[in-house]
């Protein structure tokens, strides 16, 4: 699958994911869509008023990047570590620079900060 928008339960353009203030500055938050064992998970990472969004799925084993709900391992506001296999990703572009999936990327989801709401573009 080349396009995250084709996945089951993926949010459509214009969907408000949450308010920016609901994402801790320098940390992450997950927003899920759909019921059952395979909801579509969106990971939001915030630096000030800037927010980055990715499909919350590690390219190594297709597991979520967090082990515990809403707990993400963010370092120096620049890097994200997968809780399952310790792969390290740059927050700015989702590139894995260390770990079992080095060279892979997280699947980016285009979002914008729309007057304090994080919205899918």
The pLDDT of residue 13 is above 90: yes
Dist CA 3 CA 97 (whole Å) = 23
Q: How many of the other CB atoms lie within 10 Å of CB of 52?
A: 21
Dist CA 9 CA 102 (whole Å) = 28
Dist CA 7 CA 104 (whole Å) = 19
Whole-Å CA distances, 2 to 5, 35, 51: 9, 23, 23
Burial bucket for residue 13 (CB in 10 Å: 0-12, 13-18, 19+) = exposed
Tell me phi and psi for residue 87, to 5 degrees. Answer: -65, 140
Q: What is the pTM of this model?
A: 0.94
Which listed CATH number (3.20.20.70, 2.102.10.10, 2.40.50.100, 3.30.200.20) goes with 4-120?
Answer: 2.102.10.10
- The pLDDT tens digits for 52-108 are 999 999 999 889 999 999 999 999 999 999 999 999 999 999 999 999 999 999 999
């Amino acid at each position: 699958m080349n396009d995250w928008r084709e996945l089951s339960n993926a949010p459509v353009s214009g969907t408000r994911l949450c308010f920016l203030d609901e994402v801790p500055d320098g940390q992450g938050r997950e927003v899920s869509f759909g019921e059952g064992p395979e909801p579509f998970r969106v990971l939001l990472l915030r630096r000030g008023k800037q927010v980055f969004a990715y499909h919350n799925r590690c390219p190594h084993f297709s597991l979520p990047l967090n082990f515990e709900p809403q707990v993400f391992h963010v370092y120096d506001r620049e890097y994200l570590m997968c809780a399952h296999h310790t792969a390290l990703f740059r927050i700015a572009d989702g590139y894995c620079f260390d770990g079992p999936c080095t060279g892979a990327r997280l699947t980016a989801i285009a979002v914008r900060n729309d007057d304090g709401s994080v919205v899918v573009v």
